[in-house]
Amino acid sequence: MVNKAISAYSFASCGWNALQALLLIVGPQVVLTLLKPAETANLAASDVEQYLARSLGFTLLALGLVTVVLSGSVPVGPALDDTPSPYAAPVLLLTTLYHGASAFYGWARYTSTGQTGYLLGFVGSALLAAFGTWCLLFGGEKARISRRTGADKRTSGFPFRNAEADRRKVR
């Protein structure tokens, strides 16, 4: 059973990658025209550029699907037990790093060229990088909050003593 936040992140990541992949597979000429400098935008895309754009599209599609499957959002095989996927945390980390690097690259290209396509890529990747970071920090496991005291059970008294808690134990 996968956490709902991690499942939402994996489907959002897959959706963003699928949107980019669809644009690259179906219309590489349009994407290449959007991202080329203004002086060369009217030139037709070469066969190599179209091949590489479509290959990148298929790669993004595969990355999105692998993210959903390995995070445990879609059960594969005998899913009778409710154990979480052992690959959820590593996939979450790798895709968050990927979206962070894509956001950084998109922002760097946007500031140097001013092309709107890079800005759109930056916004989508930055949102997913932030969501993935949130999931890594807070979405992985449930907090261990005591019902009786309301305190987090994972905290300790080191290096300071909790005199109030010690007094309650003595009673």
What's residue 168's pLDDT? 62
**Residue 145 pairs with which residues in a beta bridge?**
152
Q: Nearest Cα to 131, choosing from 8, 3, 1?
A: 8
Q: How far apart are CA 31 and CA 146, in angstroms?
A: 53
Q: How far apart are CA 94 and CA 90, in angstroms?
A: 6
Q: How many domains does the chain have?
A: 1
What's residue 97's pLDDT? 97
Residue 109 lies in a domain: yes
**Hunting for tokens 């895709």 — which residue is that?**
95
Residue 80 lies in a domain: no
Q: How far apart are CA 133 and CA 66, in angstroms?
A: 19
What's residue 22's pLDDT? 93
What's residue 157's pLDDT? 61
Residue 12 lies in a domain: yes
Residue 22 lies in a domain: yes
Residue 140 lies in a domain: yes
pLDDT in tens, the chain (171 residues): 567 888 899 999 999 999 999 988 988 777 777 777 666 656 667 788 888 889 999 999 999 999 999 988 887 766 555 667 888 889 999 999 999 999 999 999 999 988 888 899 999 999 999 999 999 888 766 656 666 666 666 666 666 666 666 666 555
Angle between the N-to-C axes of helices 4-26 and 47-70, in degrees from 0 to 180, rounded to the nearest 10: 160
Residue 81 lies in a domain: no
Residue 139 lies in a domain: yes
What's residue 85's pLDDT? 80
**In which domain, by residue range, is 107 found?**
4-74+86-170
- Let me know: does 110 contact 118? Beta carbons within 8 Å: yes
Q: For the chain, where are the alpha helices, taking DSSP H only?
A: 4-26, 28-35, 47-70, 88-113, 116-134, 163-170
Residue 52 lies in a domain: yes
Q: How far apart are CA 100 and CA 102, in angstroms?
A: 5
